[in-house]
Every structure is written in C-alpha cells, then in structure tokens.
Structure 1
Amino acid sequence: MPHSWQTCHASRSPHPWLAALLFVLLPLQALHAAKQQYSINLKNADIREFITMVSSMTGKSFVVDQRLKGKVTVISNTKMGPDAIYELFLSVLRVQGYAAVPAGEVVKIVQQVLAKQSGNPNDFQRRDSEEIITRVITVRNTSAVELVKTLRPLVPQYSHIAGLNEPNALIISDHAANIQRVEDMVARIDIADSSSVEIVQLVEAWVEDMVALLEQLAPEQIGKSAKGPNRVTVVASERTNSLVLKGQPETLAKMKALITELDVPANRSGTVQVFRLAHSDAKDMAELLKGLVSEGGSDPKQGAGVDVPVSIQADEALNALVIRANPATQAELTDIITRLDVRRLQVLIEGAIVEVTTDFDRTFSSELGIGDAMSSTTPIGLTRPLGTISQLLQSLATGTAAVPTLDSAPTIGAGRQSENGVSFAAIIRALSTNRDTNLLSTPSITTMDNQEAKIVVGQQVPFRTGSTVTGSQGATNPFTTIQRQDVGLTLEVTPHIHDGEVIRLEIRQEISEVSQSGNSNIGSGGSADLITDRAEIVTTVLANDGEIVVLGGLTRDKETDTESGVPGLRKVPVLGRLFKDTTTKREKRVQMVFLRPTVLRTGESMATEVTRKYRGIWEVEIEGTGVPEGVSNLFNGERP
C-alpha cells in the first residue's frame, strides 16, 4: 500500500529577500532554541500535534507516516532542552510502535517492523539511542554465522540481524542503544584463541591406555563434560604412539608433567593368563586371536617400547586359552574374548514334505485261435500270432499245463477241443489298476547360529557299479563291485540370524526312493540294477522368526495311451478289437516342501519345544499302554 507522508518544517518564502533574511535568522533561532528550556504536560493529545510541537522545539523536520494515529499523555515537572525533548519524543514513538529513522536533513517516522529496512548506517556515534539505524560489525576470530545463533534471542523481534561468511561480519538494524549493546557482547565473545597445541611422545605406555587413565584422573579437564578455560583436548595417534594436546599453555604444562610421571615401564609380572571359555571353542578362538597378533612375535603396539612375545595356546581338554603377553595386550585380548565368548542363539528348523501320487492303469485285449489236433502244426489260425492264445493251443495239443502260459491279468476264455476236427479258443483280457499315495514327512533339526546341520532318514541301498572276471589256470572267478548309497530324506541347513528376527537359511533338501515301476532287471551287462526317483532343492531364503516359507514344489501330470496289434486289421470296426491291445496309463504327482525356523533364545524356550515335540509323539496309545508324564522319565528307565 502506498504511504502518505506529511512534512512538518518551516515554510519557504517565495521572495528572495525574505529567504536571505531567514538564512541569517534561522541559525540564530536554532542557537536560541538550544539554550531555551521547555516544560511539556499533555493529556490525551493527538500524536500529530505532539510531533508538530517537538518540531518547533527542536528545529527538526519530520516525515510522518499517514497511518500514525493515537493519543499521547506526557507529564513532566522538569524543564528540558531540545536534546532531552527529542529523546522524550523517541520514547513516545517507541511506545506507540513507531521509530524515528534519520534520512538526510529530515527524520522519517515509520513503524518499528519497517524501520530495519530504512535504517541509516552512517554516523553511528552521533545517533540518538532511540533511532533505528543499520550497522555492520566486523568479526575477526569467530564465525559470524554461528554468532547469529547466540545473539538472535537477545535482540528485539522487530530488529534484523544476519551473518555473512565473506566478509566475516554481522549486519544489524535496530535502535542505536540496542546496537551498542550487541557490539559490546561481540567484543567480549570475539576473542582470539590463545590455546596452543603440543605433541607428547610416549615411550613406555600405550596411547589408548594413557587416554583412558587421564580421563579418570582429570574428568573436569579431559572428559566429555569438561568445560571452561582449563579444558584440554586429547587426540591419540596410534601410528606414532603419541598424544596431541590442545589447550591453554598453563594447563598443558601441568598435563605434560602428569603424563611424564605415568609413562613408566610396565610391570612384567603376571603376564600369563588362563581364560576358561563358556560358550566358544578354544581351538577356533585361538586361531582368531592369532590372526590379530603374530605367534611368537612381539606386541603389535610397537610404539609402546615393550618387547614381550605374545603366545596364544588352546587347551582343548579344558576348553581354555593360555595367553602370554604384556598387560596392555592382555587387557585388549581380554576385551575381545569377553565380547566373542557369548551364548549363541539356536534355531529349531521344522520341515514338512507333502507328496500326493495318483496312478491309473487300464489294459484291454482279445485273441482268437483255431487249431487241428490231428495236424502236426498247432495252431493253424490266430488273430495275434505272438499272443497268449498260441501258447495255450500248443499246451492243449500236447497235453501240458496251460496255466504257466497265462499272464497275471484277469482272463476270460472259451474253446473246444476235437480229436477228429478243428479246435478253437478265444481269450479276453481286461485289467484296471488304481493306486493313490499320500506321503507326509516332517523332519526337524536344531542347530546353532551360523552352524551347518544335517539330517538323513532312509536306507543304504546297494548299487552295482561294475563287474570283472578274474581267473588263473583256466578257472574263471566273476567279481562284482557294489557301492551303497543313501536313499531317503536328506536335509542340510545353515541358519544365519540377522537383527534377532530375520533368519537367512542356506538349504539343501533331497528326497530319493527306489522306483516302483522302472526296476526291472537291466541285464547282467548293465552297470546298475536299480532305478531311483530323486528330487533336490538347493536355495537360500529369508524368513522371520516362526514364519512358514515354501521352498519349492512340483506338480506332474502324465497320461499315456498305447495301442498295439496287427497292422490294417486292428483298424477294422468291431472285429479290429480281436487284433489289437489297448493300454491307458495316467500318473499325477504333487510334491511341496515347507520350512519353519524358530529362534531358541533361552533355555526355557528350548524346554518348551522339547515338551511340544514329546507330546506329539504319543498321539495314539497302543493296547492301553500308559505314556510317561515327561520326556525326562524316558532317561530314568520308564518305557511307554
């Protein structure tokens, strides 16, 4: 919004001679006004009238914001000169929310929130304390930007303060009195750093041990809570085994004297210690520690000036470590052993392997044969020359048993034998087989975190791998090589616990079994006599504690239709069935593998799982036999 301004000052005469007269009289009037004393007493007077009165008393010209309104009450029993009246005037403006901003020969009356944008940065020393001005304060030893964070709460809300990086200075717009106060505070804060830096080379002690000891002896100077001029900053240089100190010279001198007294040769007694491990393996722990210090070598802290050979040996019988080193190294190795020798979490891994198999076989065939009992050739006519009917007629003609010539399929036959004429026979075979199998395997195994575990449930089946013939002096000795292999269920798993909840599982799961359909004898010249069905899963999965995950699965649906018979004749409608066999085979298999890991954090959780597993064993009581109350009773000789 545009501002309207009113200017209060002496009128300019249009006549030249009057202007010359005023040029001579005004300085005299100002000098007279400077010596004149005034008494001001106002009650609910208009503020604009008050500004006009002050203008006439002080001889100043004002540019007034049109929005300035209000009533003024001033009570004074003391006469004041122009300077005191002007200070009183600035105080009244400040109460009204306005400020006086010098602008050349005039003074602008503006709102305080806008005064910081109009402050005059010039001639600071001669400004009245209640005038709004802008000042640039140079900062030499402290960051001006960081200094603003300290000064901002100390200045009025309407004032403006900002820090510059280049140059390193503060810009502030405020009343002159406030700026003077800020300048005083900056002068006290912006002090050159008089601290010095010194390096202390240690001869006997190790720097980390020395720092820890100094923090205990002088926490008010070196600790995290150390403050004040006596504060000392200590930095340990492990590469040179030295201490870097920063602080006041007097404090550093005392600190160096203390370090000199502490930097003495270490006590060599008691450098051999025995550590009984509670959870870790002594042999594995010894190998780990030997990787940190060379076997038979000296202390890795070469700057400490202590040449004590370090030796680490494992006693597997006691599951203990025997360590010989200087006290500083002993302390470091003790800390490492304490952190590593902790109870490891265990994981119970439960699996569920579900397999559903459905097989369907159907076979149908028919045969017809004609023979002559008086003839030397039997039979003389067949629908299938190589079928069962041919063998049957020959058996009938020769009087031998006919049963061995029949197969296992259900057979319906009819025939007639004539000694003087033609004999005939007919056979119809039909077979339908259904086989359904449901298999559920639930292996489970418990292992430690990051430790591989393996469970095998099955049989060792002999497989023929080869055969040779050896002999001497004309005698032969056949020799067959046999190799036994595991056939059944195999589960190998390595759990890795992350963040206490997520478990990464490295899994190898295999199911193998001797095939029910393909194990006809391959022959004496074959390299094996058995065929096995095998399914294997190798994967890595993530699972939450107690979460069930599916590792994988297989769904197989197979259908086979087979037709065999006499070419051409088997295609004849109706009669073609006498010249062919039909076989239909359908096989469907569904196999899924599920896994559930559970973290066993304490002994109580292990006991809970043991009880749950034990109760799951005795779901059915055989012949009324009682079940022991707890699994511990089994170890006391009690039997179910």
Structure 2
Amino acid sequence: MNDSLQVIPLRHVDAERMMELISALVSSAGSGQAQGGNNQLKVIADTSSDRLLVKGSPEMIAKVQEMVNQLDTTPTRRLSGLRVFRLKYASAGHIADMLRGLLANQSINSAGATSTLESASLNDASSTGAAINNAASDSLGSSAAAVSTSSTSGTSTGVGGRPFSIIADETQNAVIVNAAPELMFEIEDAVNQLDSRRAQVLIQAAIVEVSGDDATQLGVQWALGNANSGYGVVNFNNVGASATTLAAAALAGTSTAGISAAASSIAGALIGIGDSRKDSQGNTEFYGAILQALDSSTSANLLSMPSILTLDNEKASILVGQNVPFVTGSFTTSGNNSNNPFQTIDRQDIGINLNVIPHIGDNGTVRLEVSQEVSSVVPGSTGNASGLITNKSLINTTILADDQQTIALGGLMRDNTTTRQQKVPGLGNVPIIGRLFRSDNDSTQKSNLIIFLQPTILRDGGAVASVTERKFNQMRVLQLVIDKNGTIKQLPLSGTEGWSGNVSADYELMPLNPLIPKRDQAPKSTSQGFTRVDSPNSGITTYPLNR
C-alpha cells in the first residue's frame, strides 16, 4: 500500500506537544513503531506554523486525524479567556505595559508606556491601574497591526478576531488578562519569563582627599618724621597691616588705643619699637619699626565612604550634605518709596552627591553610569558681599567593572607654589642689611583627590542579608565600645576583630536579633568566651554571640 502525506493544522495545542501525545498513543497501541512494513507512521511537528506533517497509510492517517480532533481543544480553565497573574517580583504596571505593547505590536519606551495605547481608570476602589482594550495583530510576529479602542463597551476586536484586555492591579501586584484562548498561551509564557527576580547591585564609593597649605611671612616696615620736616615710610602690603596704618594711628593722638587696634590685624609674631611725642609747636613727631614673622600650616585628611543599593538598570542617588541658600537677587527701597525690600534665595545641595545606574551583563560584569560630585563651602566666604564661594569636584563617566572590583574613577593632584616679595630697590638686595628693606611671603598649596568605586552583584536574598549583617556589625562594633558614661572601652582596629575573637571585652558585638527586646533573648556561652554581663558596675548590657 502506498503511503500518503497529510498536513494537519492545530488551533490550540502546541505542535511539539501534540507530536509527543500522538507518538505516545501510537507506541502504546503497537502501531506506527514497527521498523519496515506497511504500518510505518512518521509524524513531524512544524513549530513555525503549528501544524503536523503525517506520513503513512490512509488508515493510520485517519486514526491520527481522529486523535488530533479529540486532543486539539482549549483547556477548561482557559475557555473563558480570563486569567489573573499574581506577580512575585515584577511590577504589575510595568508588566501590563509590556504585554499591551507586545500584543499590539507597538514599541515600549524606557518608562514602560506604549505610543498608541489608550487607558481608562478603574471604578473599583480596591484596584488601580488602567483598562486597555486593544486589538492584536493576527500574528505576534507580524510587522503591522490595526489597533482599535473602545471606551464604552469595554471590548474591542482586532485583526483576526483576537480581542484582549489587560488591567494592572497595583494594590495586589497582579495583572488581569482577558484575551482569546489562542493568545493566552503567549501571554502566560511572556509573564513567566518577565516575572523573575532581578539582581541588585551594591555600589560602594570611597572619596579620599588629602590637602595641605604652608605659608611663611617675614618682613620689616618702618616710619619716622613729623608734620614740619615730612615723613619717611617703608611700607609693604604682602604681610598684613602696613606701617602707614600704624603711622596714621600714631598721628591721630597720644592715645595708644588706635595703634593697638591697627596692630591687632597683623598675624604672627610682631615686634614693634618706636615712640611719638609733640614738639614745642604742638606737632606730633614719631619714629618706629615693625618686624613681622609668620609660619602657618594647614592639613586635612578626609575620607568619605557612601554606599547605595539599587536594582539592575535602576537609577540610584544618595546625597550627604547640606542645603545651602544662595542669594540670587535683592530689592531695596530708596527715599519715601513704600515698596518692601526683599531678597530672592536659591538653595543648592552642598556635600557628597552620588548618582549611578548599574547594568549587569551576562558574563558578570557591571557597566556603571556614574555622576559623582563633591562640593563644599569655602571657609570665610559666608560674609562675602558677592555671595558664597564653593569648591566643587565633579566626575561624569561610564565605566565597566567586574563583580567586587575596585575602580579608580579619577582624581586631581594639585601643587601650587606662590612667592611674593616686596623690597626697596637697591637697598633690598644688600646682604644682611637688605632684610630691613624687604618683605617676603611664600605659600604652598597641595591637594590630592581620588575617587574609588566598587560594585557588588547581589543575586539572591542570602547575599543581601549577608551584606546587611556586615554593615550592621560595623556599626555595632563602634557603638558598643563606648559605655553609657561615654568611656571608650576598646576600639578595634577593624570590624573583623570582633568576629575573630580578638576583642578582649565582656560585651557582645551584635545582638541575636536587634528587633527582639533584651528580655526575650536568652543568654548562652560562645566559643569565643563571650557571655552576657548585666553587672551594674559594668555600665553596659550585652548579648550572647550568635553564629
């Protein structure tokens, strides 16, 4: 008997699944599996168009057709076309937007909204979201779709007669789908793949700044004369107050209050000699000299370590600083004008500002879009009439790092040396004696700023709990080394000393559970010898060590 070939289209069941069912039935019946002979049956699944290719005798093909007719039916739970998908990890609103764009063959932007979909709010107070009634294309892979919406009937029919409606219930984080049975297979597969746990990234930054300023000043100024014969002054302005200020104070009168007030503005060691008196005509005559010497040094070692945890592909920001007001404008009254004076203020964030967006790759690398800003108000600029002066260091970059790899984002190394000298021409160059006619002011400024960044991928809840416990332990170590009287018991060199048992103290480094009251936590001894101590003389209450 000659074999025949027949194509059997499927409507509801997947082609591969149908082929498995047919093969199992034919094999159990003892037909179609014999090698050779006239009863050989071949079944091929065409997954691209959901159909079966059957080759065999007409009798065998007829039996297969009968099996397909009985098996290719819609499951009972999907006859109504209504499903509620309760999500575990993903956002209901985001999944609903993705499904609408998928079924309507529309592109989804970064915010998760489609370009042509319309929405209507729900009247039910127990759920929120948008009810979208759209028509899908005849095939999910088609390149164009005719979308129709209806705000009155609540249903719509698209090309191929496949209506669908998707509602996002944000209160229960669920997606309600009403669609044709043939679409429900695709929707269920999409939801199962999209509703997965997203990895998180812990970004730890270290901002190290070391700066120092050194300045030296040495100068001699002198003045002499009277109102009749004239005055002689050696005056320099690079070492603070000048000799002319002191001379003017001396000429103002016999009181030393003016001279003392003028001399108080000179920093450093000050040696002054001189005298002033009135002659027979009542004119003031004076002589005097000022020797000023100053050596100043300023150093700073700043270390800031901000850290932040965020989801993959989500922007995270952390700001540690102050909101400082800046005067942007003012209005004052003049004359008899009745207008009220006022100032306009613009507040800006000053401090450490970290903005980052992590992107985790399949190979474990992390691409980071980083914006790191370090700013501060310059000391002494508060009373500046033109406004506050701020220091600002800003880095905007995109880097690629491995998991737990420390990256140096960038930095600045600055060395500024300034030398200022004022002298009397000729006399200031004479060895030894020239020092009486010269003033020197030298300053050196050094600043080193480096910013480090380390991403750590946290893929499950255990990794997050481990990081949280480590951070909490660091804070508890610093907290418990100080008793209630403010006395430092012992400060470990690092937070790991407590865990390794190197801290010789009778107090605990970490409670069993910080959320459980002390009275509910039973004490017990530990391998490190830590025990509960409630002595009134100890000044602290401790907890047993939990491992």
Match of 1:363 in 2: 217
Map 1:6-405 → 2, pairs under 5 A: 197-201=5-9, 205-206=11-12, 209-219=14-24, 228=35, 229-238=40-49, 243=51, 245=53, 247-250=55-58, 251-262=60-71, 269-294=79-104, 295-298=132-135, 300-301=137-138, 307-372=161-226, 375=227, 380-384=231-235, 388-397=242-251, 398-400=253-255, 401=257, 402-405=259-262
> One-letter code of the match for 1:504?
R
The whole-number CA distance in structure 1 between the counterparts of 2:459 and 2:308 is 16
Match of 1:610 in 2: 468
* CA shift for structure 1 position 323: 0.7
The whole-number CA distance in structure 1 between the counterparts of 2:184 and 2:244 is 96
* CA shift for structure 1 position 227: 8.8
RMSD over aligned CA atoms reads: 3.5
Aligned with 1:595 (options 453, 473, 494): 453
The whole-number CA distance in structure 2 between the counterparts of 1:418 and 1:602 is 88
Aligned with 1:564 (options 415, 419, 422): 422
* CA shift for structure 1 position 264: 6.2
The whole-number CA distance in structure 1 between the counterparts of 2:56 and 2:160 is 32
* CA shift for structure 1 position 442: 0.9
Match of 1:68 in 2: none
The whole-number CA distance in structure 1 between the counterparts of 2:326 and 2:201 is 36
* CA shift for structure 1 position 510: 0.9
Question: Larger deviation: 587-596 or 258-267?
Answer: 258-267
Residues 135 and 159, structure 2, Cα contact 8 Å, conserved in 1: no
Q: Deviations over 1:341-400 (max 9, x none)?
A: 12222222211111110111111221111133xx478x7111128763223233334124
Residues 197 and 244, structure 1, Cα contact 8 Å, conserved in 2: no
* CA shift for structure 1 position 244: 5.8
Aligned with 2:317 (options 450, 454, 470): 454
Matched, 1:508 2:371: yes
Residues 459 and 487, structure 1, Cα contact 8 Å, conserved in 2: yes
Match of 2:129 in 1: none
Aligned with 2:276 (options 417, 429, 432): 417
* CA shift for structure 1 position 299: 5.4
Match of 1:132 in 2: none
Q: Summarize the Cα distance change of 1:342–1:404 in structure 2 as closer, same or farther, 3 Å threshold.
A: same
The whole-number CA distance in structure 1 between the counterparts of 2:424 and 2:343 is 43
* CA shift for structure 1 position 265: 7.8
Q: Deviations over 1:276-304 (max 9, x none)?
A: 11111111111011111234234544699
Q: Whose helix fraction is larger, Structure 1's or Structure 2's?
A: 1
Residues 611 and 630, structure 1, Cα contact 8 Å, conserved in 2: no
Residues 351 and 444, structure 1, Cα contact 8 Å, conserved in 2: yes
Aligned with 2:390 (options 532, 536, 540): 532
> One-letter code of the match for 2:439?
D
- Structure with higher Rg: it is 1
* Paired residue secondary structure (1:232): strand
Residues 384 and 579, structure 1, Cα contact 8 Å, conserved in 2: no
Q: Deviations over 1:153-194 (max 9, x none)?
A: xxxxxxxxxxxxxxxxxxxxxxxxxxxxxxxxxxxxxxxxx7
* CA shift for structure 1 position 328: 2.9
The whole-number CA distance in structure 1 between the counterparts of 2:236 and 2:410 is 51
Q: Summarize the Cα distance change of 1:226–1:314 in structure 2 as closer, same or farther, 3 Å threshold.
A: farther
The whole-number CA distance in structure 2 between the counterparts of 1:463 and 1:257 is 84
* CA shift for structure 1 position 589: 0.9
* CA shift for structure 1 position 628: 7.0
Match of 1:623 in 2: 487
Matched, 1:547 2:382: no
Q: Deviations over 1:62-119 (max 9, x none)?
A: xxxxxxxxxxxxxxxxxxxxxxxxxxxxxxxxxxxxxxxxxxxxxxxxxxxxxxxxxx
Residues 511 and 535, structure 1, Cα contact 8 Å, conserved in 2: yes
Match of 1:135 in 2: none
Residues 383 and 578, structure 1, Cα contact 8 Å, conserved in 2: no
Q: Summarize the Cα distance change of 1:234–1:462 in structure 2 as closer, same or farther, 3 Å threshold.
A: same
**Number of residue equivalences:** 431
Match of 1:103 in 2: none
Q: Summarize the Cα distance change of 1:276–1:263 in structure 2 as closer, same or farther, 3 Å threshold.
A: closer
The whole-number CA distance in structure 2 between the counterparts of 1:509 and 1:535 is 8
Q: Deviations over 1:574-612 (max 9, x none)?
A: 454444432111111111111222222332222222221
> One-letter code of the match for 1:503?
V
> One-letter code of the match for 1:293?
L
The whole-number CA distance in structure 1 between the counterparts of 2:288 and 2:182 is 105
> One-letter code of the match for 1:214?
M
> One-letter code of the match for 2:459?
R
* Paired residue secondary structure (1:291): helix
Q: Summarize the Cα distance change of 1:592–1:196 in structure 2 as closer, same or farther, 3 Å threshold.
A: farther
Residues 413 and 428, structure 1, Cα contact 8 Å, conserved in 2: yes
* CA shift for structure 1 position 550: 1.5
Q: Deviations over 1:444-463 (max 9, x none)?
A: 11112222111100111111
Residues 22 and 67, structure 2, Cα contact 8 Å, conserved in 1: no
* CA shift for structure 1 position 237: 4.4
* CA shift for structure 1 position 313: 0.6
* CA shift for structure 1 position 500: 6.0
The whole-number CA distance in structure 2 between the counterparts of 1:348 and 1:371 is 74
Q: Summarize the Cα distance change of 1:592–1:220 in structure 2 as closer, same or farther, 3 Å threshold.
A: farther
Match of 1:633 in 2: 514
Identity of aligned residues (%): 33
* CA shift for structure 1 position 475: 3.6
> One-letter code of the match for 1:255?
V
> One-letter code of the match for 1:284?
H
Q: Deviations over 1:311-354 (max 9, x none)?
A: 11101111111111123322321221122112222222211111
Q: Summarize the Cα distance change of 1:316–1:477 in structure 2 as closer, same or farther, 3 Å threshold.
A: same
Point out which structure has higher relative CO (alpha carbons under 8 A, 6+ apart).
2
Residues 219 and 226, structure 1, Cα contact 8 Å, conserved in 2: no
